[in-house]
Amino acid sequence: MAKATLVSLAESLGVSRQTISNVINAPHRVKPETRLRVEHAIAESGYRPSAAARQLRTRRSMNLGIRLMPVVDGINGSILDRFLHALTEAAQEDSYRLTLFSAATDDDEVRQYEELLNVSDLDGFVLTGTHHGDQRTAWLLENEIPFASFGRPWSDTEDPFSSLHPWVDVDGGAGTQQATGLLLDQGHTAIGFIGWPAGSGAGDDRRDGWRRALQAAGVFADQLDVAVNDGVPAGARAAESLIAAGATAVVCASDSLALGALSAFRSQHRAPATPNVIGFDDTPVAAAVGLSSIAQPIEEAARDIIRVLTHTLSGDADAGRPDKHLLLPPTLAQRVPHPLAGNGWLG
């Protein structure tokens, strides 16, 4: 006999799925004779409402909320989408599901937390894009709602490794430091940085890595640091100003900026044989045009986040507890920009 399911049980008994669910979850709602009949059939059939039973036992919804960040451009968006895929799979392996919501602002995200806790009684949240003065983490901590963030807490005064909440992050500064080191090794000394306006934790961290590498080599030049909002055209304009200031290579805080920078170098006929533009996030676009880029171990980060969060939720003793603050190292994907002719795209 095929394994009994809620659907097959309902069919064979001539009752609705809701009735069977009620017998398991809210038996008072079901007429006693129906209840006995269903309970008997459940026992006979070998039907195992395992996750449902676990949910009842633990009083947990087995659902985690995550805000789907707005699409800024399709280039950088791919990194968050890979994260979401890996997070869904890791959560599911541990019997958790993700509930998606959208929010226009952090304020709105907090309102959504309240709404979701009211309506669905979610067990916890996964946050992305932590930043200085993040009101979302403050609210969740204050209300004692379990959560973990992809992104460390950014504070000028507190050590992120003594944070009250679990987080997983990638050491972006180590990535830009390594990328800058590669360009130094290739003989560049006037190496610019194109990043975002100061204040975003991750952006500042990436800028710091570039600065550290240049300072260690004794070639740091303040005027080769440009801050713009993300995007391909902004990256091109920033690179044009850096080229005018004498830069022969650039490290960028994103692949969108880097794609613009590569275009600017090419339009100035200054593209050397070795890669002189390095992006961040190793997106499909970087692979398609042969752009070197710093790669985040995004699938590993997602699995770690689910691990530290579900550990918190399961309330296990501290023995065997995973480290709840994890800073993962990035890697550098090195490529050569594709010439007009040739099939270098096929990497």
The verdict on 34 binding its own copies (CB under 8 A) reads: no
The answer to whether the beta carbons of residues 201 and 171 sit under 8 Å apart is: no
The verdict on 98 binding its own copies (CB under 8 A) reads: yes
Nearer to its own copies, 246 or 347 (CB): 347
Nearest to 174 by CA among 332, 8, 347, 334: 332
Contact with its own copies (CB under 8 A) among 72, 116, 295, 332: 116
CA 325 → CA 31, 73, 301, distances in Å?
51, 30, 11
| Side chain identity at residue 332, one-letter code | L
Per-residue contact string for residues 303-322; x = within reach of its own copies by CB under 8 A: --------------------
Of 92-100, 130-138, 182-190, 318-326: span binding its own copies (CB under 8 A): 92-100
Nearer to its own copies, 6 or 332 (CB): 6
Contact with its own copies (CB under 8 A) among 89, 107, 159, 316: 89
Those residues whose C-beta lies under 8 Å from the C-beta of residue 132, and which sit 6 or more positions away, are 154, 155, 156, 199, 200, 201
Contact with its own copies (CB under 8 A) among 232, 243, 298, 308: 232
Alpha carbons 228 and 235: distance in angstroms, whole number: 8
The verdict on 107 binding its own copies (CB under 8 A) reads: no
The answer to whether the beta carbons of residues 232 and 201 sit under 8 Å apart is: no
The verdict on 288 binding its own copies (CB under 8 A) reads: yes
Interhelix angle 17-25/6-13, nearest 10 degrees:
110
Least Å distance, CB 214 to its own copies, is 27
Least Å distance, CB 213 to its own copies, is 28
The count of other CB atoms within 10 Å of the CB of residue 157 is: 4
Alpha carbons 12 and 160: distance in angstroms, whole number: 56
At 128, is the secondary structure helix, strand, or coil?
Answer: strand
Least Å distance, CB 191 to its own copies, is 22
The answer to whether the beta carbons of residues 42 and 9 sit under 8 Å apart is: yes
Nearer to its own copies, 199 or 284 (CB): 284
Q: How far is CA 194 from the centre of its chain?
A: 22
Nearer to its own copies, 88 or 163 (CB): 88
The count of other CB atoms within 10 Å of the CB of residue 327 is: 15
Nearer to its own copies, 96 or 210 (CB): 96
Nearer to its own copies, 11 or 159 (CB): 11
How many amino acids of this chain bind its own copies (CB under 8 A)? 70
The verdict on 59 binding its own copies (CB under 8 A) reads: yes
Of 38-46, 171-179, 201-209, 283-291: span binding its own copies (CB under 8 A): 283-291
Contact with its own copies (CB under 8 A) among 13, 117, 221, 227: 117
Those residues whose C-beta lies under 8 Å from the C-beta of residue 139, and which sit 6 or more positions away, are 110, 113
At 126, is the secondary structure helix, strand, or coil?
Answer: strand
Alpha carbons 41 and 36: distance in angstroms, whole number: 9
> Using CB under 8 A, which residues numbered 13 to 32 contact its own copies?
17-18, 21, 26, 28
Interface positions with its own copies (CB under 8 A) = 5-7, 17-18, 21, 26, 28, 49, 51-52, 55, 59, 62-63, 68, 70-71, 73-75, 77-78, 81-82, 84-85, 88-89, 92, 97-102, 114-121, 143, 232-233, 236, 259-260, 262-264, 266-267, 269, 283-285, 287-289, 339-346
